[in-house]
Each structure stands twice: as structure tokens, then as C-alpha cells.
A and B are shown apart, each in its own frame.
Chain A
Amino acid sequence: GENVEQHPSTLSVQEGDSAVIKCTYSDSASNYFPWYKQELGKRPQLIIDIRSNVGEKKDQRIAVTLNKTAKHFSLHITETQPEDSAVYFCAAITWDDKIIFGKGTRLHILP
């Protein structure tokens, strides 16, 4: 069945450095890729998304890149800040409108 693999499961970076989280999907017809951030005790919330007709999208310190040939997409956070500490989930929506989540990455920003 369809699958989304997310790496790493845990990531620690020094404040001010960049963080990169990678996801690989199995359904080549997937066309929409959202990223969610879940802070402690809160619900997951969308932080950025990308559709299959675009290779890259940026929103201030956050960017997402998509490589359709390799079937992977990545979240890039630059100039990390303490408030970036959270669990991040990638997801892919398949051709038949199924949304599949990765297992999540716990990001720690070290002071």
C-alpha cells in the first residue's frame, strides 16, 4: 500500500543553525504535500505545503522542496529559534485522495 517515510525521527540543532527533515513517498501520482507542526499539548497545524506542479516554496524561514522523480520532499528551517522545537509531520495525498502521514520528527533547538 501507499507509504510515507520520514527521517530523521529525532533532530537536535543549535539555535541559529538550519534543520532539514526529509520524506519519501511511494505513490508517484501523489499531488499534494503538506507539512504540520505539533507543539507540546497542541493540535497539529499546517505550516507549509506544496503541490506537484511546483518544485519549491518558501515562507520566511521555512521552505519545502519537492523532487517528483525521486519521490521525495524536504522541509528546511533556517535560523532556527527556540519556538521551532516541536514535532513535525509530513504527509502526501494520493491519486485517490488518501492522506498519508509520516511518523514524525521531534526537533530540539539547543540554546
Chain B
Amino acid sequence: KAGVTQTPRYLIKTRGQQVTLSCSPISGHRSVSWYQQTPGQGLQFLFEYFSETQRNKGNFPGRFSGRQFSNSRSEMNVSTLELGDSALYLCASRQSYNEQFFGPGTRLTVL
């Protein structure tokens, strides 16, 4: 079974731009979650999608948004990028009431 994949792996943007990150979950997993991780920090929860609906949301500003498609693939969008948005963005998928499998992450640098 293929693991969780994320594209792109690395991204460099400038302040004010917007960015879209993509995540393909493990086949059969309907839940996809997104996390932001900065150096030395934990996993900051952004949101979770389940069957194309946002099921849970963390405490991030509205500049951070996401969606999920009928094939469970998910995208995350950040608009009006700020320097503080530089981070590793992790996507994870799971089946209900089971472990999460993480993707390799997208490292975003905002200049």
C-alpha cells in the first residue's frame, strides 16, 4: 500500500503571495488532517477533513483554508503569506479510530 504523499516537497514564496499544498492519503482513508510544525515546536493542528467536509479546525487565521475531493485527496491553501508562515506542513491520513499516517511534509519558506 502506498503511503501518504505530499507535493511539492519544498517551496519558496515571498510575502503577500499565496500557496497551495497537496496531499494524497493512503487508499481507503477518508480522514485527512493538516499540521504546521516550526523548528522545535510540536504539531500545530490546522484542520481535518472527512468525506469532503471539514470536521475539525484548529486556531489558525482565515488565511489558512483547505478542501478535500471525492477521492479523499486534499489541498491546503495559505493566502497573503507572512514570514511567520515558514514551516513544515504535514498531512496525515487515517481510518476512523485508528492511527494516523504522516506524509513527508512540504517545507515552505517565505522570504
Measured CB to CB, the residues of A under 8 A from B are: 31-32, 34, 43-46, 49, 89, 91, 93, 97-99, 101-104, 106
Closest 9 CB pairs of A and B: A43-B102, A104-B42, A103-B42, A46-B99, A101-B43, A34-B99, A44-B102, A97-B96, A43-B104
Residues of B in contact (CB 8 Å), total: 20
Whole-angstrom CA separation of A5 from B87 in the bound complex: 23
Q: Is the CB of B103 within 8 A of A43?
A: yes
B57-110 interface (Cβ within 8 A of A): 90, 94, 96-105
Name the B residues within 8 Å of A98 (CB-CB).
48, 56
Q: Let me know if A32 and B43 touch, CB within 8 A.
A: no
* Chain A residue, CB-CB nearest to B102: A43
Give A99 to B99 CA distance when docked, in angstroms. 9
User: Which chain B residues have a beta carbon within 8 Å of chain A's beta carbons?
Assistant: 31, 33, 40, 42-43, 45, 48, 56, 90, 94, 96-105
Q: For residue B29, give the distance in angstroms from its CB to the closest CB of chain A.
A: 13
Chain B residues, CB < 8 A from A34: 99-100
- Find out whether the CB atom of A43 lies under 8 angstroms from the CB atom of B42: no
